[in-house]
Structure 1
Amino acid sequence: MLKPENFTEQAQEMLTESQDLVRKYKHSNWDVEHILLALVNMQEGLTSTILDFLGINKKHIQQEIKSSLEKKTYVT
């Protein structure tokens, strides 16, 4: 089993944010989109560096992921 205390501080923050997104969107499953959006939302870190280096518009990526999350079934 993975232990969060073995992860870097940034990885722990990303996991926490991705779990917060599951609750925000009222989803019953923790999916890759939650993790991906949490990664893209991080201001610092490898994901941000790579996206900046490639000249990728982070806001556009965020909107695409949010759109995907909004289409998923949610718990009422």
Structure 2
Amino acid sequence: MGEPVEGGSDAAGPGPVPGEIERPAAEAENEKLRRQVERLEKELARNKAALEVRGKASTILEVISEGAD
């Protein structure tokens, strides 16, 4: 008595599949990650531009320094 009959179900139901994310939660996570990627891409572009400016400034300072000698 009290044991599930073969082919029957328990009172709790089947429940979520382990490792599977609920659809709305997965969509929210995807949107969060898209925003994060967009923010990081902008940050990367800004950092690349800053490095380019720094490289040009370094070259200019080197030319000026060589001219002073």
Shorter-chain TM-score above 0.5: no
* TM-score, length-scaled by structure 1: 0.29
Higher RCO, 1 vs 2 (CA within 8 Å, ≥6 residues apart): 1
Larger radius of gyration: 2
